[in-house]
Amino acid sequence: MAVTILFLGPLADMAGAESKDVEAPLDWAGLLEVVGSDVADQLTQERVNIACDGRVLADKTALNAKDGDEVALLPPVSGG
């Protein structure tokens, strides 16, 4: 199986896709490697969060996604 990475909002535009399947397991370093430099730069900023299987990680560098997990990259929320 694999880990599915979901690119939300402007991160999807940067990645050129809404999702990507990658080989499991997936940790922080592996995530930064597979998402491309533009998205990786955004992920290192505090304002971008990561959720693994629906739970926002308090420490995104502790990512440890396993087979079948879904990792969502959450850009800052804006609105009016």
Map out the domains of the chain as residue ranges: 2-74
Q: Residues 12, 44: contact at Cβ < 8 Å?
A: no
C-alpha distances (whole Å) from 8 to each of 1, 2, 16, 76 are 22, 19, 11, 10
pLDDT in tens, 20-69: 999 999 999 999 999 999 999 999 999 999 999 999 999 999 999 999 99
- Burial (Cβ within 10 Å: 0-12, 13-18, ≥19) of residue 16: exposed
Alpha-carbon gap, residue 60 to 80, rounded angstroms: 27
Question: Which fold is adopted by the domain 2-74?
Answer: Ubiquitin-like (UB roll) (3.10.20)
| pTM attached to this predicted model | 0.93
How far is Cα 63 from Cα 14, in angstroms, rounded to an integer? 21
